Amino acid sequence: MSSPPSTIPCAIRGNPVNILYNPTVGANIISSECVMQLFGDEPLVPTDKTFQTSSREFLEGVGILQHMSIRHKDIEAVLDFHVFDVQSFDLMIRHPIEKLLIDAPTQDKLDA
């Protein structure tokens, strides 16, 4: 992660969370600890993805959490998240979600 992430306040299942936004990551990422706290025994889809941390360590993917609903103000997005045993953050999203959540149109529809 070469550019500093920004923070987007959101809610997941009614729980307030701060999501890191970094356009340089290749996928939406959630920590396995956060999955256990927010989703309990929600089934994960198997994955073979790895994640390289800022200290150059490679982490094996635990699975993919599909169709996760995230709310920022009055905007809702449904995303898939790759689950890793990462300790430095709970959630991180990639581009173009910041534009979807921050610069969303005010006329009840999103431009494709």
User: How confident is the model at residue 17, as a pLDDT?
Assistant: 93
Name the CATH code of domain 6-102 (choices 2.40.70.10, 3.40.1190.10, 1.10.3720.10, 2.40.50.100).
2.40.70.10
CA distance 38 to 14: 10
Is 70:19 a contact under the CB 8 Å cutoff? yes
What is the pLDDT averaged over residues 14-20?
A: 91
CA distance 9 to 3: 19
Instruction: List Cβ neighbours of 75 (8 Å cut-off, separation of 6 or more).
Output: 100, 101, 104
**pTM across the whole model:** 0.77
Q: Is the dihedral of CA 37, 73, 79, 31 positive or negative?
A: negative
What is the pLDDT averaged over residues 66-87?
A: 90
- In the chain, domain spans: 6-102
